[in-house]
Copies of this chain bind each other. A is one copy, B any other.
């Protein structure tokens, strides 16, 4: 699981800052979610389409390390890798400032529900088979 399969450039918006002048800790989860959704939309299926087909990805765990805070005006790149572990899809997601400084390192686990029940994820695995080892 060395390389990344998707990258998205983003820029801090001032309303994401908190009183310390740095991006609030929760907003990094927004960046990570937006990256996953863009990865899905550009590589096969949007979240709206998943819902129409009855596939409901559900987050079950996030581990996030905060390395260096983002500030007003900062641009950054959000990189993603995906791996399947049984019924779970595990995203490794890292943010870097444009100069390469690590911002956050995260591991995000999802499972899929189909018709409200835990699903083995075979439909998603088929869609993302080029990215799964």
Query: Interface of A with B (CB < 8 Å)?
Result: 13-15, 17-21, 24-27, 29-30, 33-34, 37, 41, 46-48, 51, 56, 58-66, 69, 71-73
Report copies per complex: 4
CB pair A13–B25 under 8 Å, yes or no, is: no
CA distance A76 to B89 in the complex (A): 29
Check B61–A34 contact: CB distance below 8 A: no
Contact partner of A66 (CB less than 8 A), chosen from B13, B51, B59, B63, is B59
What are 13 A-B contacts defined by CB distance under 8 Å?
A13-B34, A13-B37, A14-B33, A14-B37, A15-B30, A18-B18, A19-B47, A25-B29, A25-B59, A25-B62, A46-B73, A60-B65, A62-B63
Bound: A101/B37 CA distance, A: 25
- Chain B, Cβ-Cβ closest to A24: B15
Contacts A19-B18, A59-B66, A72-B19; A30 near B48 (Cβ below 8 A): no
Q: A14-B18, A26-B29, A33-B14 in contact; A72/B46 too (CB < 8 A)?
A: yes
CB pair B14 A19 closer than 8 Å = yes
A13 to B30, CA, bound (A): 9
